[in-house]
Amino acid sequence: MRLVMMGSGTFAEPTFLALLQGPHPVVGLVTQPDRAIGQERGSTRQIGQGMKNIAAEHDIPIFQPESINTPEGIAGLQAFQPDLLVVAAYGQILSRDVLAVPGKGGINIHASLLPKYRGAAPVAWAIYYGETQTGVTIIRMSVALDAGDMLAQEVVDIGPEETAGELEARLASVGASLATRVVDQIATDTVRGIKQDKTQATKAPKLTKEHGLIDWTRPARDVCNQIRAMQPWPTAYTFWHHLRQRAVREGEAPAEPMRLIIYKAKVGGRESDENLAPGQILSLKDSNRLAVATGGQTSVEILELQPAGKRRMPVAEFLRGHHPKAGDLLGFDFS
């Protein structure tokens, strides 16, 4: 059975490598066109071996159409004469004409327990919404997004401090194992599908930078989940407003809010600062700690962060060079 791999992110790499070690010839790789630095589009924007590098090492022909759904894209796919498409984080929705090229259609490795979290960022949204379990589902591809019959599924626990990038790396390995098993079943015509219950479907839309902006009115656990969910991209961020800064001299512009990327945090307590508004900095006896009031009379203690134009650092290092005061506000950029 002739296979064509379609994928463009680190999530796809373990599946590609596993297929190359299997009994079915991989006759081509379809991946996204090369992008300029800073414009890469992967499911987590992590750096791996690279799909093209893997293909080159194994003498696999590479096809990089801007759109696989154009006549030129379909013709390029037809040239491989595939029996089956194996898709993981490819980054384009496949048309009916594309799915009709291989005799046995296509399968997709999706990083959620479908029908929950259909869409481009299932790992991030599972963490964002506080799920304790997720998994991988292999589906038979259909024109509707992530709606095909389920061919295999495996449940995976989510670690309490795990980021989206860390979890996706684990799910990628699970997906590779499931995919190779399903490919063998398709080759022997022993695969059996289960229809999804569309009434249970939820959405996992593509992440944007705006999804990283922290809303401190949410409860502390929700804020911490967001911080984990937005890594490695787009990262969670906020703005530090100096509400107790010195009086501005005549003619001098006031200090602008400082953008802070928050990498690591934990749920804290409110102690005696129960009247603080969400986003205000708590007064703590330990000068090496930084805590922020959140909704529901909770707080978040920040552990690692990155000030604008600086590197990532522990909060104690940040506090040695910056001096936020109790009552200062973290929140939106009001400037």
State whether 81 and 31 are in the same domain.
yes
Report which of residues 268 and 249 the model is more confident about.
268
74 lies in the same domain as 213: no
pLDDT category, 273, cuts 50, 70, 90?
A: low
Phi, psi of 178 (to 5 degrees): -65, -40
Q: Are residues 126 and 251 in the same domain?
A: no
Q: Which helix (H) or strand (E) holds 239?
A: strand 236-241
Q: Which among 200, 224, 257 is the end of a domain?
A: 200
Residues 36 and 171 grouped into a single domain: yes
CATH number at residue 184: 3.40.50.170
Same structural domain, 85 and 150:
yes
Strands 236-241 and 329-331: what pairing?
antiparallel
Task: At 308, list the tokens.
Answer: 């604008």
Per the structure, the complete domain to which residue 310 belongs is given by 209-331
Instruction: Answer yes or no: do 221 and 145 share one domain.
Output: no
User: For residues 127 and 297, which has the higher predicted lDDT (pLDDT)?
Assistant: 127
**Per-residue pLDDT tens for 18-58?**
999 999 999 999 999 987 644 444 444 566 889 999 999 99
Last residue in a domain, options 172, 200, 228: 200
Residues 134 and 233 occupy one common structural domain = no
Tens digits of residue pLDDT in 203-235: 999 999 999 999 999 999 999 999 999 999 999
Asked whether residue 164 falls in the same domain as residue 286, the answer is no
Residues 195 and 218 in one domain: no
Among 48-52, 264-268, 274-278, name the one with the lowest average pLDDT.
274-278
My answer on whether 191 and 213 are in the same domain is no
What average pLDDT does the segment 299-327 reach? 94
> How many CB atoms lie under 10 A from the CB of residue 218?
18
Q: Are residues 189 and 316 in the same domain?
A: no
Residues 182 and 100 in one domain: yes
Domain limit, last residue, from 165, 200, 235: 200
Q: What is the mean pLDDT of residues 119-136?
A: 98
State how far the alpha carbon of 90 is from the alpha carbons of 49, 193, 275, 277, in Å: 16, 22, 49, 44
The DSSP annotation for 214-230 comes to --TTSBHHHHHHHHHHT
- CATH number (domain holding residue 291): 3.10.25.10
- Find the helix packing angle between 13-20 and 164-187, rounded to 10°: 30
Q: How many domains does the chain have?
A: 2
